[in-house]
Amino acid sequence: MPELPEVEVIRQGLLSRVVGGKITAIACSDQKLRFPIPRAELARWFKNSRIVALQRRGKYLIFQADNDAAMIVHLGMTGKLGIFQAAAPPALHDHLVFTFASGLQMRYNDTRRFGFVRVLPPGRYGSDDPFKNLGVEPLTDDFSGAYLQKMAGRRLQPVKNFLMDNRMVAGIGNIYANEILFYAAIHPATAIGSLTLPMWERVVEKTREVLARAIASGGSSISDFVDSAGRKGYFGAPSSAPAARNRVIGSEKLKIYHREHRAHRDN
């Protein structure tokens, strides 16, 4: 499932291609995603509208139109957003196609159809926060050792489960929770109530480092993730992966994912 870095990589890849672009046509498949595709709302609020902003909140992408409507996209387990020339042949499992006046298309493809699209009418996104139940963004100043310690209290919940709880921290899943705790030298089963403030501060530091490296590397190549140009992310890829992608990739390797039974460092 795409986590925060993968969604942010897609957002960055789409920015220059869709923001400022006018949508001239919208096509939907007859397949249901996690929820039915909101065809009428898309046609009413996004056809012939211009995209003015593209934001991310946790694992969600938010497209804002010039009429103040908003479209929220969650990629589920296998969802992808890509940019194509209109003449490019469609792919199996393309469920939504947005055609822009530029001649480009943004296509939503989802093999397992666990993703979803939600449309908010003009003014609703600003007045009715759809993400009020999400925790803090881990790349912001609100994410701190003091915040984590306060939310943890004296509970016995394993720290890995706590980091993956999107009500506490937005956007972190299994892959990156494992990596963060490895670099923070904390066993994932450690009870959150036993962690000291310096330990939480180390979690914050390593969270920012791991997520920033993953975003710079194009996300994780685990499972089906590709960026908006159809390229696989290199975070976690073998060191022989190509290094030339108009950015410095390096040879990032996942330390824990697929090695759950390997002993962690002592804390």
Catalytic residue list:
2-3
Angle at 182 between CA 180 and CA 184, to 5 degrees: 70
Angle at 7 between CA 33 and CA 120, to 5 degrees: 55
Contacts of 166 (CB under 8 A, 6+ apart): 58, 59, 134, 135, 172
Distance of alpha carbon 168 from alpha carbon 151, whole angstroms: 7
DSSP lists the bridge partners of residue 191 as 158
Distance of alpha carbon 138 from alpha carbon 56, whole angstroms: 12
Contact 152, 186 (CB under 8 A): no
